[in-house]
Structure formats: C-alpha cells, structure tokens
Amino acid sequence: MTHLIAIGGSDAGISAALRARELDPTVDVTVVVADRYPNYSICGIPYYFSGEVQPWQSLAHRTAADLEATGMNLRLDTWATGIDVAGQRLEVRGPDGIIEQLGYDELVVGTGALPSHAGITGLDQLTADDGVHVIHSMGDTFALDTRLDERDPKTAVIVGAGYVGLEMAEAFTVRGIKVTQLQRGPEVLSTLDPELGAIVHAELDTHDVEVITRTTVTGIEKTSDGLVVRGVREDGRFARLADLVLVVVGVRPNTELLEHAGATLGAGGAVVVDEHMRTGLPHVYSAGDGTVTHHRLLGPTYLPLGTTAHKQGRVAGENALGGNARFAGSVGTQVVKVFDIVAARTGLRDHDAAAAGYQPLTVGATADDHKRYYPGSHPISFQITGDNRDGRLLGAQLVGTLGTEVAKRVDTFATALYAGLTIEQISELDLSYTPPLGSPWDAVQAATQAWSAATRS
Amino acid sequence: MTHLIAIGGSDAGISAALRARELDPTVDVTVVVADRYPNYSICGIPYYFSGEVQPWQSLAHRTAADLEATGMNLRLDTWATGIDVAGQRLEVRGPDGIIEQLGYDELVVGTGALPSHAGITGLDQLTADDGVHVIHSMGDTFALDTRLDERDPKTAVIVGAGYVGLEMAEAFTVRGIKVTQLQRGPEVLSTLDPELGAIVHAELDTHDVEVITRTTVTGIEKTSDGLVVRGVREDGRFARLADLVLVVVGVRPNTELLEHAGATLGAGGAVVVDEHMRTGLPHVYSAGDGTVTHHRLLGPTYLPLGTTAHKQGRVAGENALGGNARFAGSVGTQVVKVFDIVAARTGLRDHDAAAAGYQPLTVGATADDHKRYYPGSHPISFQITGDNRDGRLLGAQLVGTLGTEVAKRVDTFATALYAGLTIEQISELDLSYTPPLGSPWDAVQAATQAWSAATRS
C-alpha cells in the first residue's frame, strides 16, 4: 500500500491529499499540519474581523472530521523538520516535542509562504504582544482577535495596500478603528494600473480610511504613547503614532525544508518544479506558495495565490500516485472587494508585457454593466492590454461597483488568455445578454472594441 | 460616393449603418425604417410594462438625433416593397403612400422576424383592439399600453413560457394582473433541461403566476364574458377566460422582400447567407432575425437573437464597403431574469448534441456562488454537456438567484465553446476568487469536475 505524506494543512497539502484519496481509496495518506487548523480559508480572515463571518470555525473549508472521513490521517501541531530523500523518510516534531521518522513512498511539500518584513526594522523584535501584527495563519488571527478584545485600539496603521491590506482596512473601519493605510507606490492596489487603483483609493476616502501613498516604511518602534511607524517620503521623513500596526507587505516562499533536502530555488526564491510539480528530488513534489508558478504568458514566476495552490496540490496528489497530470499554468487572475468596489485583473499589464518581450498597447475604456435604461446600471472601468503585432490579448483590468459582475467578467478574459485568443476574437464571442444584466455587446466587448479602434487610428 | 441602404431600424440594420459610417465617414448611408422608432431595445419592452423603465423613450439605444449625428439618413415610416437586384434599386413606400425608387450601391436587409401564430385560430382576426396582443414592436407596445390604461384588465393568459413570456409574466404580476401562463411542453423555459426549468417554475409559483404546462393552445375566441383561450391537454380539453391574452410563442423570419428578389431560404425558412453575410444576390447582404445563423457547433441554423443581429449587421456593414469581415458564429448563449432567478444557457443540450452527431453526456451539479461562510451565498444549479469521446465541452446551463453572477458565469462556458476547450481544460482555467464572490475552484469548475468524475465512474 502506497504511503503518501503531504506536508502542510493549507490549500496545496490538503488538495494533494484529497486528490489522492479521491483517485485511490486504498492509498495511505498522512497530512502533517504545523498547527491545529487544517484546511482553513486564510483568504476569509478579513471577514472574520469585519464580523461578517462568525464564529472563526466557519472559516474551515472542511472540518478535521470531514477530512478524516475521506480516510486521510492528520498529524496536527506537528512540524516537518527534515527530509531524508534517499531513505524516503520525513523527520517530524510532534506536539509533545518528540522527534519521529515517518517513512513515505511519495512526498508532497506544501509549506507555503511566510509574511514578508520588507526590511522594516523592529519587526524582528515586536510581536502581537506589542500590538504589531501580521495576518497569515489562524494563530495570527487569534492573536489579533485577543488584542482587539483586550486593548480596544482606536487607531491602526496598515502597512501595505494590496489585497489583504485593503480587506483589513475595510474590516477595521467597520469595527470603528480609524485606519491609516501606507503604500510605497503612487497608488493603492499596485497590481492594477494607477488609473484603476485611483477608483479604489476614492472608495477608501469615502469610508474615511486615510491613505498615504509614496511612503516607504522603514521601522516600527514601541513608545510609551503607542507604536510609532516611521518612513520616508519624497518630501522627507514620515512618522505616525497608532495603537496597533498591521504589516501586510506580501509574502516570501517558505522553502527551508526543501532547500536543505537539495531542491533548486528559482523565481522569487521559490522551489523549482516541472509542470508535473516534481522537484527533481526522487518522490518529492512541491506545490503552493513555496513553489514557482508556471505563468502561461511569462513562464516560471513567483505568484502565490490560493487558486494556484489548489490546482498545483491536486496535480501533485494525482502524480504522486503515478498519474501524469500537469499544472496548466496561471494567468495571474485576481479579484478583491473593497467596501462596495470590486477590482479584478488577469494576464499582464503594459510594463510586465513589455519586459517579457511582447509589444503591448494598453487602452482604457468605460462601459455600463447593463443597459442604462434598466435601474441600477453602473460603469465598469477597463484597461485592456494586447499585442500590437498580432492583436493577441495580453491582459485585462476591471473595476466596478459590487454587483456589476466584475469578478466573473474578468473570467471571460482569463478564459480567452488560456485559449490564446486575440482581442478581435473576444469581440466575436457570443456572450449573454438580458437588459438587467448586460448589453447586446457586453461591457467586455465594448472594451475590446475600444482597443481595436485605437489600433486603427 | 458609395450609397449604402440598410433596411430595418432594429439591431441588424442600424448596426450595419453604424459600422459603415464608423469605417468610412464619406459613405452615404440611408436606413429605411418601417415605423417611427429606429434603434429601440425590443428586449427592454417587458421592463417598460413592469414600470422599471420609464418613459418608453428611454428604451432607445440611441435617439434618431444620435443616429443622424453619425451622418446616416433615416427614412422613417417607410416600407421597403421591392428590390430590383439587377438595377440596384430599392422600391419604397413612404409615409405619404408615395412609391419611390432608391438607387443603391450596396444593400443590407435587416427586416427581422414576425411573431409566430403557432396555428392558433382566431389570431388572424383578433387584434389589440380585442385584447389579444403580441409584443414585437413599439407599435405593439403602445397598443398594449393603451389597453392596460383604458381597460384595466385583471386577468391575463400568456401563451408561451419562453424568454419574453416569462418576462411579461413578471411585468403583469408586478402590475397586479393575475397571470395564467400556458406552456406546450412539460416545463417552462423549454430551452433549458426540465430539471432547471423547474427552478424557474417554482419562482413563478412563489409569485402567484399560475403555470399550466403540457397544454397546446388551439384557438382564441372573443365572447361577451371576455377572451376564451382553448387548447388541448393529455387529459382532454382546456379552456380559460381572461381579460387579456398575450401570445409569445416565438417568431418566424420576415423574408418576403428577399424571397421575391430571388434569395435562397434555408434553416427555419430564413435567408441563406455565407459567413460574410452575402445572400448570393449581387450587392445584397442579409443580417439579423430574417437570416440563418451560423452556429459554431451545428452549422447553419435559425436562432434569432439580438446579440447575433448586432454582430451580423456589423459584419454586413463592413463588407458592404469592401471589407472581408466574417460572422464568427453563435453558440446559442441566452440568459433571462425571472423575478429573482437568473437562467442561462450556451451551446447544445444533450438531445441537440446527439441529433447533431456528437456523443453527449450531460451531468448535473450544484455549487455555491461564493464561499458559504460569507453572507449571502446561494447555490447555482448546472447541467454540463460534453462529448464522451474527447471530453469537448458541448454546452452548459445554469440557474441561480439574482446576484450569483450566472449571466457572466455562462460567458466562461461561451468563451470555452468558442475556443473549442475540453471540460478538463475548464477545470484548469485560472478564474478569479475572493470569498465574497467565488471559491478557489469556481462554481463553474465544481460543475466541470463533477462531469469529469462522472466519466471516470
């Protein structure tokens, strides 16, 4: 009987284990989980803090009992400390501190990522006990929860205005905490063009989030008055006092285990794998946020996303049983809700595309989500990027009001990118129309037609 | 200077005229419009009757002034009565009854469709003055409007439970008219599988629309008590008295003009065209609801839809100026909102696919529109049809609550059909995810994975 071990209780590890049990109910599957919270939706944590999701247990995609009902074994509070590749043994330290060697036939490593510190001094000493938080695990969640309950902070500085930073700005605001959001670049949500990021910025303004851009945080200090966040701006130094600081400036791959085992590191310092999620080490697969991502337009890159981790884990779980699945690649599709605005992107932006050797043209457009005569229509703002040489779609960005189906309109572009369609071909698509929900030429096609018109002029 | 005449003030004719003026501002464009209402959104009429759209003028996609501002000439209240193909002359009868010959270099015919009578006796005599209505033009709209104002009907029979019939059932119900909806087949919305039609049926029940299926209407009579709708059912005869009757049992192509000019009729009795929208008659194009539709999975078919008419008209307008555009084909994408339910389809259903020589397998699935832990999630019901031989997607049907982004989720399938993707490839797509609006495997992919699982078992 094959023994598969998956390391990691988040998307990649659990997906691998589920896939293996689904394909072969005789396979022996063990999942090694560093904490007590396997299969939690980390993406859902901001909604716990906003109060929209209660209790925290409902954040579990599946309970431990659900997982065990599939026939997998969970080793909770257990750290994977070393891989003996030749001997096919995994060394783990259990909850009681005892070191054990677990034999495996196949190993899937899904150790994920760690919060980045972005060179900010103070972060190596200051912790949740000081009011300085990250938000990456259920442990971080409980620590922040305790802090909010016990100290009732009135002001928070959020360092970073990416997806999680924006969601947490909303959550804190809903709770009555006055938020100052610091962003290094010229506009929030730097994964979108500033024209579209500005719409999100305006929504933050409306909800009294203080947004300060072009500010690089250099350090955090604890003083008797509270926490002081210091940084630099074009016009000089910056300092702000707050009761609580949340640092959400991205993640770095957690590769220590595989690096020591001899795996190769690549893009973004993540573990290199082939499209079958093989590390090159015999019987060892890697998947999820610690692993390079094959991007269909860029090749190997580092782009840690839950959707990708699910897919990579599933591929690894299938191949560990002798399958021949391959990860088809990401196109970098992302979406975020910020108060009543939804912002989405897929593919490449102009500068990414140019850097990768494409000859991009990016055109902005605005189109109503549905016929204006029907109540409740709202404009959607687009940025469409295509290759000037052959008209191939390279990327799309969309921002609209909640309810304008932006999240699933970006999927039309993501599907077109997967299939390698041109922008003209998107204008040919037979998309759905009814006046309350669309237009005879969908908003998506109003945008692609604007791109085509720009290439003619 | 080229003179282009477009016949028809609805989607096809206007799209052709707009495209021609867009591509070449020197071209002389005349649009011959049978009534005074060019470029009205016929799909929006039900929302005028529900009161959501007011006044009726707002149903215009563009006003006559907007159209004329593009440089096109409108000949309103003008009937095209004959085409002299060899002489390149169009005979028209103007509002004053005077017959005129208009010379053209290129002619685009977009005469559309006429309401079908489905063999119901009485429909050739009874009119709006008797309380028997169709709903196909602004004239029909005004006639029904007048009837509702002047007679204040309390009860209506709607013959037909397709897209327009369902939308009008909602509109009448909102106005306080008690609706009985008659459907020939076993379930409403016969363009969907009955499993999904049943969800729409339940929504009609909730709103006190009386739905009577398996009833073929044979005749309508005017009596002193009101209108009597008669029909047959499996269990015998059927009769129902009502203050008003609306007949919405589909359309038939309006081809008289082109037929007399020598054009060939094909699928559904519609005018045959090539992919460039050429009729085969020199300098004569046809587009819209009077024309056959190239279906990417079926070849030539008759499938009158506004989205298609826009695309065909645009192609005809471009080619009339010497272009080489082609209509890429429909995949039969449709969506309808019925009260708080949205129902969508694209591609082929099982029996359509089997009849066309595919080897279909259809699998049902249900998946939440977004993570269940986030408030407001609702299940979406799917029917997925794929070819058992090669796994190619053949069609998808979706029904969900308003707000579940069903209208734009069907577009992912429509895009996949265009690109010829397999169902496994849809499971590989990098679709967007955030907990309030999706899942790490989108609902679309939960459905395609269910199809794949069914093929393994």
**pLDDT tens for each residue of A394-404:** 999 999 999 99
Residue of B307, B403, B432 lying closest to A433 (CB–CB): B307
Backbone angles phi and psi of B294, in degrees to 5: -75, 120
The residues of A annotated with a catalytic role in the active site are 43
Q: How far is B238 from chain A (nearest CA, A)?
A: 33
Sequence-separated (6 or more) residues with CB below 8 Å from residue A347: A297, A331, A332, A385, A393, A394, A395, A396, A413, A414, A417
The single residue of B43, B85, B272, B335 carrying the catalytic annotation is B43
A25 interfaces chain B, CB cutoff of 8 Å:
no
> With 80 as the cut, is the pLDDT of residue B346 above it?
yes
Region(s) of chain A under CATH 3.50.50.60? 3-112+252-320, 128-247, 340-456
Distances from the Cα of B70 to the Cαs of A94, A390, A400, B25, in angstroms? 75, 30, 29, 8
pLDDT for residue A210: 98
B50 interfaces chain A, CB cutoff of 8 Å:
no
Distances from the Cα of A156 to the Cαs of A172, A188, A209, A244, in angstroms? 8, 17, 10, 5
Question: CATH assignment of B128-247?
Answer: 3.50.50.60
Residues 414-433 of B with CB under 8 A from A: 414-419, 421, 425, 428-433
Confidence of residue B253 (pLDDT cuts 50, 70, 90): very high
Which residues make beta-bridge pairs with B272? none
Q: How far is B333 from chain A (nearest CA, A)?
A: 5
Q: How far is B157 from chain A (nearest CA, A)?
A: 24
Backbone angles phi and psi of A210, in degrees to 5: -85, 115
**Which amino acid, residue B374?**
Y
> With 90 as the cut, is the pLDDT of residue A118 above it?
no
Residue range A284-321, pLDDT digits in tens: 999 999 999 999 999 999 999 999 999 999 999 999 99
Mutate to test the interface with A, among B289, B430, B448 (most CBs of A within 10 A): B430
A166 interfaces chain B, CB cutoff of 8 Å:
no
**Based on C-alpha coordinates, what's the Rg of chain A?**
23
A174 interfaces chain B, CB cutoff of 8 Å:
no
Q: Compute the average pLDDT of residues A221-226.
A: 96
Confidence of residue A1 (pLDDT cuts 50, 70, 90): confident
CA of B312: which chain A residue's CA is closest?
Answer: A428
Cα A104 from chain centroid (whole Å): 30
Cis status of the peptide bond prior to B304, with omega within 30 of 0: no
d(Cα A359, Cα A353) in Å, to the nearest integer? 7
> With 90 as the cut, is the pLDDT of residue B10 above it?
yes
A47 interfaces chain B, CB cutoff of 8 Å:
yes
| B110 contacts on A by Cβ (under 8 Å) | none
Q: Which burial class, exposed, middle or buried, applies to B408 when counting CB atoms under 10 A from its CB (0-12, 13-18, 19+)?
A: buried
- Contact criterion met (CB < 8 Å) for A43 and B434: yes
Sequence-separated (6 or more) residues with CB below 8 Å from residue A332: A295, A303, A345, A346, A347, A348, A395, B430
CB B269 within 8 A of CB B133: no
Q: How far is B224 from chain A (nearest CA, A)?
A: 39
d(Cα B346, Cα B157) in Å, to the nearest integer? 29
CA of A411: which chain B residue's CA is closest?
Answer: B431
Nearest residue to A399 (alpha-carbon basis) of A191, A210, A259: A191
* DSSP 8-state symbol, A144: H
Q: Compute the average pLDDT of residues B402-409.
A: 97
CB A318 within 8 A of CB A49: no
User: Which structure tokens are listed for A429?
Assistant: 């698509």
Q: Compute the average pLDDT of residues B50-78.
A: 97
Sequence-separated (6 or more) residues with CB below 8 Å from residue B453: none
User: Which structure tokens are listed for A67?
Assistant: 């997982």
- The CATH number of domain B3-112+252-320, selected from 3.40.50.720, 1.10.420.10, 3.50.50.60, 3.40.50.620: 3.50.50.60
B157 interfaces chain A, CB cutoff of 8 Å:
no
Sequence-separated (6 or more) residues with CB below 8 Å from residue B129: none
CA of A44: which chain B residue's CA is closest?
Answer: B435
CB A334 within 8 A of CB A385: no
User: Which structure tokens are listed for A169?
Assistant: 């700005």
A11 interfaces chain B, CB cutoff of 8 Å:
yes
Sequence-separated (6 or more) residues with CB below 8 Å from residue B357: none
Is residue A319 helix, strand or coil? helix
Antiparallel, parallel or unpaired: β B293-295 and B299-301:
antiparallel
- Contact criterion met (CB < 8 Å) for A306 and B405: no
Residue B190 φ/ψ region, left for φ over 0, alpha for ψ in the -120 to 50 degree band, beta for the rest: alpha
Q: Give B372's Cβ-side CA count (13 Å radius).
A: 10
Is residue A62 helix, strand or coil? coil
> With 80 as the cut, is the pLDDT of residue B457 above it?
no
Q: Establish, for the pair of chains A and B, how many residue pairs have beta carbons separated by less than 8 Å.
A: 204
* DSSP 8-state symbol, B270: P
A334 interfaces chain B, CB cutoff of 8 Å:
yes
Q: Compute the average pLDDT of residues B104-126.
A: 95
pLDDT for residue B1: 80
Residue of A335, A426, A435 lying closest to B432 (CB–CB): A335
Confidence of residue B456 (pLDDT cuts 50, 70, 90): confident
Residues 367-386 of A with CB under 8 A from B: 371, 373-375
User: Which structure tokens are listed for A28?
Assistant: 């022996």
pLDDT for residue A451: 98
> With 80 as the cut, is the pLDDT of residue A27 above it?
yes
CB B8 within 8 A of CB B112: yes
d(Cα B180, Cα B162) in Å, to the nearest integer? 14
Backbone angles phi and psi of A384, in degrees to 5: -115, 130
- The CATH number of domain A340-456, selected from 3.50.50.60, 3.30.470.10, 3.40.50.1100, 3.90.1200.10: 3.50.50.60
> With 90 as the cut, is the pLDDT of residue A234 above it?
no
> With 80 as the cut, is the pLDDT of residue A457 above it?
no
pLDDT for residue B235: 85
pLDDT for residue B234: 85
| A401 contacts on B by Cβ (under 8 Å) | none
Sequence-separated (6 or more) residues with CB below 8 Å from residue A259: A265, A271
Percent share of chain A, pLDDT over 70: 100
Residue of B411, B418, B440 lying closest to A307 (CB–CB): B440
Q: How far is A274 from chain B (nearest CA, A)?
A: 16
> With 90 as the cut, is the pLDDT of residue B239 above it?
yes
Q: Compute the average pLDDT of residues B48-52.
A: 97
Residues 258-287 of A with CB under 8 A from B: none
Confidence of residue A456 (pLDDT cuts 50, 70, 90): confident
Cβ burial A396-431 (10 Å sphere, 16+ → b, else e): bbbbbbbebbbbbbbbbbbbbbbbebbbbbbbbbbb
B446 interfaces chain A, CB cutoff of 8 Å:
no
Q: How far is A330 from chain B (nearest CA, A)?
A: 6
Percentage helix, strand, coil, to 5, in chain A?
Answer: 30, 30, 40
| B441 contacts on A by Cβ (under 8 Å) | 307, 310
d(Cα A385, Cα B383) in Å, to the nearest integer? 34
Run of H or E including A285: strand A284-286
